[in-house]
Structure 1
C-alpha cells in the first residue's frame, strides 16, 4: 500500500475482530512492534530514556579507561559522563501478547504523526478500506496517548463495527501541557550549571525541541477547552466496551553524572535532576499542571483525563506515560479484556 508503507499485520483467528494498534503523537508503529527502535523528540532520543532506572556503581578497577558498555544507556566514560540510567533489556507490548495468542493484529505508522487528529482519521479511513478483509469481523482499537482520540473520532464518524476500545494514557478530557511552553524559557538557567561546556549544546537543543513540541498545533488541539476535545461525542462510547488506563508517576526521566573514584576503582552515579521535579524551581507555585504532579498525572496526562467516558473498566497505576505501554499487569489486563470481548 503506497500511502501506508509501514503496516505490520498478522492473520490470526478469522472469525474474531482485528486488534488494531494506534500510536501516539510523534511516534510510529515501532512503539508497539519493536519498541527498542522507537524514538522521541523527532528522533533525538530512544524511548528507553523514559524507561531507564537508576544505575548502580560501575567497577573500573581492571580498566585503563573507565568504560562500561554493558547495561548502561550511556557508557560511564571520561568523554561522556552523562547518563539517564539503566535501560531495560527487553521490551514487549500487548501487540506481542495477542499475536502469540492467535489474534489478528495490525499496527501502522501515521504518515503525518504530528498533524491534527482529523487528518489522522482520514489516514485511518484509507487504511481500513485497504485492509477491509482483515477487519470484516470488527475492530478492537488498542491505543496509546493521542491514538485513543484518533480512534474515538473514527468510531464517531466512520460507522466502524467496533466491539471494544482500549486506551492507555489517553487524554480523553484534554491535557494542559501546552500551557507550560511559556514557562520553559527559565529552565536553561536551572539546568545548564549541571552540564560541562561540551554538554551544553545537547541540553540546549533538547530544551528547544521540547518547547517546539509543547507549542505545536497538535498539542494545542488537546487543550481541554479546544474545539476538538469539547466536540468529542462521549455518548458514542456508551455503546461499546471500553477499558482505560492512567498513570500517576510523572517522572519522565532522570539525569545522572558519573563521578570517578580511582582509589576505590568505581564510577558512582550522581543524580543531577529529573523531569518534572526541576520544573518546580521556576514554575510559579500553584501553576504546575496536574499532569506533572505525583499521584495525579503520568507526566503528560492526568489520571482523571485518562479515564474514558462510560468506561467499563478503568485502572490507575504508578507508571509514567511511557512505562504504561510495557507494564506486565497492564498487558495482562488488556489481553484478558480482549478475551471477554471475543
Structure 2
C-alpha cells in the first residue's frame, strides 16, 4: 500500500524539509490542522487553539463553551511553505505501532524525496515521537541530512503511560460538572485515551525501555541540531457564561488537564502533567536533544508548540543557514 504523502514544491534553491508526526496522529497535524483529530482521534486539534471568548449577547443563550476556535492556524508547515521551502510529510500506516515501523517508512520517504528533490539539502523535523523516529533512522544513515529539529520529543522517555489506570475517577468528576447529554461522549473519549496511554506504543517510550537502551545514535559533524520543549500543561479551558447587565460574560470553569489532575493523588501525577515541568505529554527535561546546538524551553503545551512564533523563527534561521 502506498504511503499517504503531502508535498509542497517551493523554490529550487531552498532545502527540503521532511515532517514526521507523533504518536496517533497523521499528516494533517501539519498540513491541515483545522480538520484533523488527535488524542486517539477523539478531539479536533483546532480546539487547542481556542482563545478566551468575548462577551456575547443575551440572545446567544450560551451556557458552556470551550472558547473561540480560530478559522486559520498558521503553523510551522504553513510558515515554511510561505517562505518558499520544499516540504514533504506523510501519514504513518500504523501511527500507534512500533517506532521501527515508522523508521522503515521514513526510509521509504527519504528514497522518494531523493528522486523528487535530487539536489536539495535535507532537514528532518519531528514532533513528539517523530523526533525519535528521525533519531533511530539516523543511527544507520545520515546521507544528505543537514539538520535535525525536534519539537517536544521525549529524548529521555515519557512516563505518561503510568497514569492510564488512574483516569477512571476523572469520568465521574467530569460527569459531575458537565451537562448530561455529554456524559456518553466523556466516557468514550476517556476510554479511548486510556487505551492509548496503556498501549504498547506509549510503553515503548517509557524511560529505560528496550527502545532507549538500544538507541545508538550520536552527533554527526556538519549536521545542525535544534530542539524545543514546553512547560505549559494547560490544553484548553471550558467557560460558563454569566449574565452581567445586558450581556453574557465567560468565566473559566474547568482547565484541562490542570483541573482534572487535582482529583488524582499527588504521588501518581508525573512531571509531564505538572505546570512548569512538562507540556502535558513530555517533560521539558526530556525534550532536550542531548547534542542540540541550541535548545529552547517555551511556555507552550504539546500541541501549541507547532504554531509558536519562536519555534517558527528559530527553525527558519536554521534552514536559511543550510
Match of 2:235 among 232, 252, 262: 252
Q: State the alpha-carbon separation in 2 of the partners of residues 166 and 47 from structure 1.
A: 22
The 3-state SS of whatever aligns with 1:163 is strand
Q: Name the counterpart of 2:115.
A: 133
Q: Name the counterpart of 2:290.
A: 309
Change (3 A) 1:104 1:192: same
Q: State the alpha-carbon separation in 1 of the partners of residues 84 and 175 from structure 2.
A: 51
The 3-state SS of whatever aligns with 1:131 is helix
Match of 2:180 among 197, 202, 205: 197
Deviation at 1:17, TM superposition (A): 3.7
The 3-state SS of whatever aligns with 1:19 is strand
Q: State the alpha-carbon separation in 1 of the partners of residues 135 and 75 from structure 2.
A: 21
Q: State the alpha-carbon separation in 2 of the partners of residues 15 and 194 from structure 1.
A: 55
Runs (4+) of structure 1 exceeding 6 A deviation are none
Q: Name the counterpart of 2:247.
A: 266
Q: Name the counterpart of 1:92.
A: 74
Deviation at 1:316, TM superposition (A): 0.5
Q: State the alpha-carbon separation in 2 of the partners of residues 242 and 336 from structure 1.
A: 12
Q: Name the counterpart of 1:30.
A: 28
Q: Name the counterpart of 1:241.
A: 224
Q: State the alpha-carbon separation in 2 of the partners of residues 126 and 268 from structure 1.
A: 52
Q: State the alpha-carbon separation in 2 of the partners of residues 215 and 241 from structure 1.
A: 35
Match of 2:91 among 87, 106, 109: 109
Worse-matched range after superposition: 230-239 or 240-249: 230-239
Q: Could you tell me whether the CA contact under 8 Å between 1:246 and 1:298 is conserved in 2?
A: yes
Change (3 A) 1:181 1:238: farther
The 3-state SS of whatever aligns with 1:122 is helix
The 3-state SS of whatever aligns with 1:7 is strand
Give the TM-score normalised by structure 2: 0.92
The 3-state SS of whatever aligns with 2:89 is strand
Q: State the alpha-carbon separation in 2 of the partners of residues 181 and 10 from structure 1.
A: 38
Worse-matched range after superposition: 202-211 or 96-105: 96-105
Deviation at 1:37, TM superposition (A): 1.2
Q: State the alpha-carbon separation in 2 of the partners of residues 144 and 94 from structure 1.
A: 11
The 3-state SS of whatever aligns with 1:108 is strand
Q: Name the counterpart of 1:333.
A: 314
The 3-state SS of whatever aligns with 1:166 is strand
Q: State the alpha-carbon separation in 1 of the partners of residues 102 and 126 from structure 2.
A: 13
Matched, 1:119 2:101: yes
The 3-state SS of whatever aligns with 2:248 is strand
Match of 1:153 among 131, 136, 144: 136
Give the aligned length. 321
Worse-matched range after superposition: 166-175 or 7-16: 7-16
Two-structure CA RMSD over aligned residues (Å): 2.1
Q: State the alpha-carbon separation in 2 of the partners of residues 105 and 246 from structure 1.
A: 23
Q: Could you give the per-residue CA deviations for residues 54-103 of structure 1, whole angstroms, max 9, x where no partner exists?
A: 2232113xx4xx25xxxxxxxx3xxxx43221223321222222223232
Change (3 A) 1:35 1:199: same
Matched, 1:40 2:38: yes
Q: State the alpha-carbon separation in 1 of the partners of residues 108 and 39 from structure 2.
A: 27
Q: State the alpha-carbon separation in 1 of the partners of residues 54 and 10 from structure 2.
A: 43
The 3-state SS of whatever aligns with 2:139 is helix
Q: Could you tell me whether the CA contact under 8 Å between 2:40 and 2:193 is conserved in 1?
A: no
Which segments of 5 or more consecutive residues in structure 2 lack a partner in the other structure? none
